[in-house]
Amino acid sequence: MGFFHFLKTQLTTALQVDLSAISNYLESKVRIFSSILQFCKLCFLEPLKRSSVVTHESFDKKQEKAVSVYEKPKHKKTSRDDNEWRCIDNCFWIIGFLCITWWLLLFLCNFLPAILPGFKLAELPGSRLKNEGLNAHHPVVLVPGIVTGGLELWEGKPCSEGLFRKRLWGGSFSEIFKRPLCWLEHLSLDNETGLDPPGIRVRAVTGLVAADYFAPGYFVWANLIENLAKIGYEQKNMYMASYDWRLSFQNTEIRDQSLSRLKRKIELLYVTNGYKKVVAVPHSMGVNYFLHFLKWVEAPTPVGGGGGPGWCAKHIKAIMNIGPAFLGVPKAVANILSAEGKDVAFIRAMAPGLFNLETFGFQTFQHVMRVFRTWDSVISLLPKGGETVWGDLNRSPEEENVCHSAKTQYLHYSSKENNGNNTDPRRSIQVKELAKYGRLVSFGKVASEIPSSQLSFIDPKKILNESMPTSSTSCEDFLTEYNGLSRESIKRVTENKAYTARTLIDLLRFVAPKTMQRAEVHFSHGLADNLEDPKYSHYKYWSNPLETILPDAPDMEIFCSYGVGIPTERSYVYKISPSDRCKSIPIQIDISADGSDNGCLSGGVYFVDGDESVPVVSAGFMCAKGWRGKTRFNPSGITTYIREYQHKPAASLLEGRGTESGAHVDILGNFALIEDVLRVAAGASGTELGGDRVYSGIMEMSEQIDIQL
């Protein structure tokens, strides 16, 4: 669907054709594409259901069979005529045509300027600023987030033969298709320790190539690196702090000494570049990782880095947090509960049998969930601050958020270039009922809307402590922790119709006990009452900005830079899965839950303003209020700035993913953001950038969050 929406925008702008005509045409193509999925299901999946024998083999046996198939292909005779054109051939032909069309468009985007010498793209910010006299000054450290950094194999099982030091994550992802079960096994961590499984070593790729491109043609840091190079940056004054993003933050130090290497590199950059302080640029979960580093580096050894008080003040000029997930993201909840989000839920609705087919042992969601739940980093992204930040059964900071029209667009506050003194503009649309975003997970659409007095409520801790019946299935393998729970246990959990950020943790402890028990040693998601309590010296609190104190570095600056204007997942409507087969996931997003008084519910997901991944409240609250001025979280008064970037889709095909995008990853190619980073790296302060730039209602939302400062 994203492709057709993208194509509609490009054709409308480039060819100046009628918007409604293009819209109607491409929306019909969306319906055709959905029909293709159903067609493939009828051609391929349905006949397989007639098979009367379904075998359940162990993971190892399946893996051996998968490897043998690819290593020793066998050609069997068939009675079918070679010229016979089957239904499934039509299906794959159409899909192939769509893929070829997409790659052709990418080719034109990249090579049309070379074919037409007279055609010019917009000038890169780095080139323009270089002409203005801007030059490299402060060393720059880039810190990637979750999943965007490459991972390569150093030791593996027999099925991984030939993959030594080849990328398992990032790059072409070809091994997914060649040996999928082997690939998943090697990306998993040990479910008890959160470290390497026996006989497997997967490590982070090093250097700038670790996260410049996620896949061929899909940039992550590449555009920012190129523009930094335009004003004089190279590897002697620029560093990519890659790490194994699957691990808990402290485990990256225990296993790989990643934090120690980052400390030594910053010290080296500081000395070799004329004792100039470093500008750190973390992205997404990398923001939380670097926040953990700030506490680790000054903490005494052996738990900390031993840098002592004043290390950050000496070595760091500014931290430019891009797409920060300071207070977590609700989509992490959906990943743990059912290994899905809005996009996956849509695909599953179109072809429900594709991901659950047992004949070939696909069980896609189950395998993905099993892998996800071994990654402690996913737990780091759970919502932090409880009901105080995310709201309770009746209220939330975004409760006045209004969506309108079928396209789920947002009303935005006017742009304000100031130091945080914003007025409160009036909303232009009145709604009957405000969305109850504080109900992060509701079982049924009705439960997400009715007054809290009408909800049935059972203390999740009581359910957790009850002696619940276990599963009586005869599954040979337990792909997920759900296999240990009976259907009655799941129904008992859903009797509590709505879960908030406070009660949600207990729900996760019930459905994913091993995962939570392991990960909660490394992460905390609460709100500190007394930061002087000695318990907060433990490393599990260091990545939670509401349970840790910023370093004593009054001259340092902190930026919260993120996109706004894109519907972003905030809460979910769930239902019990109709399937009770062995190994199935018993709950799923209710794709049929649609429509609400304020227009923010679509396909079982409630949306608010954000960058498509991180809601505004998570990205901006700490800079808007939590760290603004001298607070108990920021006793030295480090100056904070909010820099928001209003999302604008690409104006033409030649802009690729756009130069004004506010999307979570695409923002790294946003020219305005790149210019801000370059100017700060060249020595500018936040005030010289223009102070705060606010488009959203983050200031008003922050006032709704009652936290003692």
Which of the residues are catalytic? 284, 611, 664
| Tokens describing residue 698 | 């983050």
Q: How far apart are CA 463 and CA 470, in angstroms?
A: 14
Phi, psi values for residue 587, rounded to 5°: -130, 155
433: burial class by Cβ within 10 Å (0-12, 13-18, 19+)?
exposed
Phi, psi values for residue 608, rounded to 5°: -135, 180
Q: How far apart are CA 498 and CA 335, in angstroms?
A: 18
* Neighbouring residues of 447: CB distance < 8 A, sequence distance ≥ 6: 439, 455, 497, 498, 573
Q: Is the CB of residue 675 less than 8 Å from the CB of residue 129?
A: yes
Phi, psi values for residue 132, rounded to 5°: -85, -5
Q: What single letter denotes the amino acid at residue 623? A: C
Q: Is the CB of residue 523 less than 8 Å from the CB of residue 509?
A: no
Q: Kindly give the pairing relationship between strand 416-418 and strand 605-610.
A: unpaired
Query: Quick one: which of 425, 404, 405, 406 has its CA closest to 415?
Result: 425
Preceding omega of 534 cis (within 30 degrees of 0) = no
Q: Is the CB of residue 109 less than 8 Å from the CB of residue 654?
A: yes
Query: Quick one: which of 314, 226, 215, 319 has its CA closest to 271?
Result: 314
Q: Is the CB of residue 263 less than 8 Å from the CB of residue 300?
A: no
Q: Cα separations (Å) of 315 from 236, 262, 269, 272, 696? A: 16, 12, 9, 12, 33
Phi-psi region of 21 (alpha: psi -120 to 50; beta: other; left: phi over 0): alpha
The DSSP secondary-structure symbol of 352 reads: T
Q: Is the CB of residue 584 less than 8 Å from the CB of residue 356?
A: yes
How is the beta sheet containing 140-143 ordered, strand by strand? 238-240, 140-143, 278-282, 316-322, 557-564, 639-646, 692-694, 416-418
Name the β-bridge partners of 373.
none
- The distance from CA 31 to its chain's CA centroid, rounded to whole angstroms, is 28
Q: What single letter denotes the amino acid at residue 46? A: E
Query: Sign of the CA dihedral 195, 199, 202, 203?
Result: positive
Q: Where are the alpha helices (DSSP H) in 391-546?
A: 445-449, 460-465, 487-494, 501-511, 513-519
| Tokens describing residue 59 | 């993971």
Buried-state track 289-316, b at ≥16 Cβ within 10 A, e below 16:
bbbbbbbbbbbeeeebbebeeebbbebb
